[in-house]
Chains A and B, each alone.
Chain A
C-alpha cells in the first residue's frame, strides 16, 4: 500500500528536503508511525499528548484527499492505497 504524503517546507528538514514522501498505514495514526520510522522526529511535530491521549496538534492541518481529517475521524481516519495526504501548518497568530 502506498500513500503519498505532501510535506510542508518547515518539516522538510525531516525528509532531506523532499516535498513529498511515501508512507503506509490503514489509518492516519498508523501512517504517522510509519513516517516516524523513515523520518525520525516528524511524529512529534504532528501530534501531541492531550490529557493522556495522542491527538493532532492544534495548529497542524492534515488533509486526506482534500478533506480536513478533523471532520473524518482525526487520527483514526481510514486510509487506502493511492490516497493523498497533505500536511499544512496553520497560518495563524495573534
Chain B
C-alpha cells in the first residue's frame, strides 16, 4: 500500500494537469528504507512528449547525488498518461528500474488541464511483474496552536 500526504498527492495531480498534453514526471523522495514519500521533486520531461517521458540525464545525476547526500531513495516515481488509463504501459514495465519504488500513474485524459478528478493509481513493478496496490491519502498534520510555536 502507498501512504501519501494530501499535499503531495495534490502536487502530483497539479503537475500532471499543468503539463498536459505532455507527460509529466518526477519523484517523491523519502528516508532510505522508511517507505515514507516526503520530498516532492517534480522533474522536467526531457522527451517533451505526450507518449513518452524521460528525466534529463544531467538532472537525473543531480537528483540521485542529492538523495544520496540526504540518505534518501525515490519512494515514489510518478508520471502521467494523457490519453490512456493510469496503468503501466509495456515501455513503463520494461524500463522500471527501482524495485523499491511505488510507481504512481496519473491519467489526465478526462479533464486535461482543467479542474476535475483524475485517475491516480499506484503499482509495484518488479522484474516485469506489475502489482497494483491501494493508495491511502493522509490528512495534513493538524496545525500547531499558537502556544506551541516558538516565540520570536
Contact = CB atoms under 8 A, between A and B. Distances in A.
Contacts of A92: 47, 52-55, 91, 95
Interface string A80-92: 0000001011111
DSSP majority for the B interface?
mixed
Interface in A41-94: 59, 61, 63, 66, 68, 70, 86, 88-94
A9 B52 contact: no
Contacts, number: 65
Contacts of A9: 73, 97-100
Interface in B73-124: 73-74, 77, 79, 88-92, 95-100
A89 B61 CA distance: 10
A93 B61 contact: no
A88 to B, nearest CB: 6
B51 A94 contact: yes
Given A61-B60, A63-B61, A66-B61, A91 B54 contact: yes
B17 to A, nearest CB: 19
Interface residues of A toward B: which range? 10 to 19
A61 B91 contact: no
Contacts of B73: 9
Contact of A94 (B27, B52, B58, B61): B52
Nearest to B27: A91
A8 interface: yes
B25 A91 contact: yes
Contacts of A61: 57, 60-61
Given A61-B60, A88-B61, A93 B98 contact: no
Given A10-B99, A93-B53, A88 B91 contact: no
A67 to B, nearest CB: 9
A70 B29 CA distance: 27
A9 B88 CA distance: 21
The 8 closest A-B pairs by CB, nearest first: A94-B91, A89-B97, A93-B92, A92-B54, A94-B89, A91-B55, A10-B97, A68-B57
Interface of B: 25, 27, 43, 47, 51-55, 57-58, 60-61, 64, 73-74, 77, 79, 88-92, 95-100
